[in-house]
């Protein structure tokens, strides 16, 4: 009979980050994942400086990895654009599969036991069933995504959920033309452009429209469509839902949730992976202290900034008139987007973000 200190259900980036952080604290860790690596998922693939710092704290080495340098964010609308650089450090654009591979390598070097092609099939006091085999463990971490089965077994269900949107991602064989993540805005949809290599660019579509093809949506963004015309696809199109969910609690008994299983913000924030890495470090601290309440408090703090930004960005998405005025105000006051970006990456307090939002609100009123 296999036994472990910590059982992690889910071997994606969130689960591996949790396993790495716990192993760094000396725990024995077993990760179970029904898929086999490398695991891919539709996402923007941009890691902001705070996400890079969290990876460094986990000891994940990205040296030599094919990636793109990110200096900041650029919002691009039909009439205006606004640019802001990260206040400290740089981000990177990296293929999801390559990032997963580096996480797997780090976990393996630390001695994390990984069961690929295996599925958690039940939860009992002090035991997880893995393909029907009982695995005694002290702690259980659910990292099995939005539709987390483990969260249901533990009685940790969503207290609030917004309507879903759809994310589609395609890579193109084209030299990146910018070292910024470019966010193109149109009615009811955004396209994120991220350099992920010297000759490869990732483009992610976020849309509320079901059944809309990637190509038909791209035609709504004329300047971007012109840039990509004639560029060859380097990967197949991949899609996934994106949803904003909040749980009443992310811990119960000896069970803790992490990543999308613990709640999420819409992919419009570009924060999904970074949040999971920060949660992993906070969870390891709580496990070392033997008190999951510490993780509950830390999780609430970690999610506060992205939830604030998510509400603001989705408001821009749903209100074309507000979006046009906001982009015009940001274009006319570059320091304003700089302040908001500093809050977004954790380099400034949430109160600074409220101040920046108030300033933006005043500019919008003057534009009326």
Q: How high is the mean pLDDT of the chain?
A: 91
pLDDT at 352: 52
Please give the Cα distance from 246 to 266 (Å, whole number).
11
> Is position 194 within any domain?
yes
Please give the Cα distance from 178 to 258 (Å, whole number).
33
pLDDT at 346: 80
Is there a cis peptide before residue 25, judged by omega within 30 degrees of 0? no
* Per-residue pLDDT at 15 exceeds 50: yes
Q: How far is CA 101 from CA 44, 97, 237, in A?
A: 17, 6, 20
> Do the beta carbons of residue 283 and residue 140 sit within 8 Å?
no
Output DSSP code: residue 39: P
* Per-residue pLDDT at 178 exceeds 90: yes
Please give the Cα distance from 358 to 365 (Å, whole number).
10
User: Domain end: 287, 308, 329, which one?
Assistant: 308
Query: Is the domain of 250 the same as that of 288?
Result: yes
Sequence-distant (6+) residues with CB within 8 A of 74 are: 81, 82, 83, 84, 178, 180, 181, 182, 183
> Do the beta carbons of residue 344 and residue 309 sit within 8 Å?
yes
Query: Is the domain of 114 the same as that of 228?
Result: no
- With cut-offs at 50, 70 and 90, classify the pLDDT of residue 156: very high
pLDDT at 1: 57
pLDDT at 309: 87
> Is position 137 within any domain?
yes
Q: Looking at the whole model, is its pTM more than 0.85?
A: yes
Please give the Cα distance from 151 to 187 (Å, whole number).
35
pLDDT digits (tens, 9 = 90+) for 207-258: 987 778 999 999 999 999 999 999 999 999 999 999 899 999 999 999 999 9
- CATH no. for residue 282? 3.50.50.60
* Per-residue pLDDT at 182 exceeds 90: yes
Query: Is the domain of 303 the same as that of 325?
Result: no
| Bridge partners, 83 (sequence order) | 74
Q: How far is CA 161 from CA 26, 246, 259, 299, in A?
A: 36, 6, 16, 17
Structure tokens at 145: 């995504």
Higher confidence at residue 158 or residue 339? 339
Q: Strand 81-85 vs strand 72-76: parallel, antiparallel, or unpaired? A: antiparallel
- With cut-offs at 50, 70 and 90, classify the pLDDT of residue 2: confident
User: Domain end: 213, 242, 271, which one?
Assistant: 242
Please give the Cα distance from 129 to 159 (Å, whole number).
27
Taking residues 187-216, report their average pLDDT.
92
The dihedral through the CA atoms of 256, 261, 263, 265 has a sign that is: positive
- CATH no. for residue 175? 3.30.9.100
What is the residue range of 222's domain?
Answer: 165-242
Stretch among 135-144, 185-194, 343-352 having the lowest mean pLDDT = 343-352
* Per-residue pLDDT at 361 exceeds 60: no
> Is position 69 within any domain?
no
Enumerate long-range contacts of 208-214, CB under 8 Å, 24 or more apart.
208/163, 208/165, 208/166, 208/317, 209/166, 210/166, 212/166, 214/168, 214/170
Structure tokens at 318: 């749903």
Q: How many domains does the chain have?
A: 3
């Amino acid at each position: 009979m296999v036994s472990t200190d910590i059982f992690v259900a889910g071997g994606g980036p969130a689960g591996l980050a949790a396993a790495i952080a716990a192993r760094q604290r000396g725990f024995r860790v077993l990760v179970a994942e029904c898929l086999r690596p490398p695991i891919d998922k539709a996402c923007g693939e941009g890691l902001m400086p705070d996400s890079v710092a969290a990876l460094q704290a986990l000891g994940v080495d990205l040296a030599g990895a094919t990636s793109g340098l990110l200096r900041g964010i650029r919002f691009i609308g039909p009439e205006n654009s606004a640019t802001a650089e990260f206040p400290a450090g740089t981000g990177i654009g990296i293929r999801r599969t390559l990032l997963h591979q580096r996480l797997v390598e780090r976990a393996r070097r630390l001695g994390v036991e990984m069961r690929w092609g295996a599925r958690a099939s039940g939860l009992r006091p002090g035991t997880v069933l893995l393909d029907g085999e009982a695995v005694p463990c002290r702690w259980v971490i659910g990292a099995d995504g939005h539709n987390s089965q483990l969260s249901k077994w533990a009685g940790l269900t969503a207290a609030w959920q917004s309507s879903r949107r759809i994310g589609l991602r395609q890579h193109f064989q084209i030299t990146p033309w910018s070292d910024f993540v470019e966010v193109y805005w149109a009615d009811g949809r955004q396209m994120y452009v991220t350099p992920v290599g010297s000759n490869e660019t990732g483009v992610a579509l976020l849309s509320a429209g079901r059944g809309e093809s990637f190509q038909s949506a791209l035609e709504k963004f004329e300047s971007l469509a012109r840039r990509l015309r004639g560029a060859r696809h380097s990967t197949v199109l991949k899609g996934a839902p994106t949803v904003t969910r909040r749980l009443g609690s992310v811990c119960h008994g000896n069970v803790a949730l992490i990543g999308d299983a613990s709640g999420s913000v819409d992919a419009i924030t570009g924060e999904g992976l970074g949040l999971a890495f920060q949660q992993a470090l906070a969870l390891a601290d709580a496990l070392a202290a033997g008190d999951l309440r510490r993780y509950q408090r830390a999780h609430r703090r970690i999610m506060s900034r992205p939830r604030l930004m998510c509400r603001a960005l989705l408001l821009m998405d749903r209100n074309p008139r507000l979006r046009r005025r906001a982009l015009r105000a940001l274009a006319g006051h570059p320091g304003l987007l700089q302040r908001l970006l500093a809050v977004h990456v954790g380099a400034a307090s949430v109160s600074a973000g409220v101040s920046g939002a108030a300033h933006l609100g005043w500019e919008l009123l003057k534009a009326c």
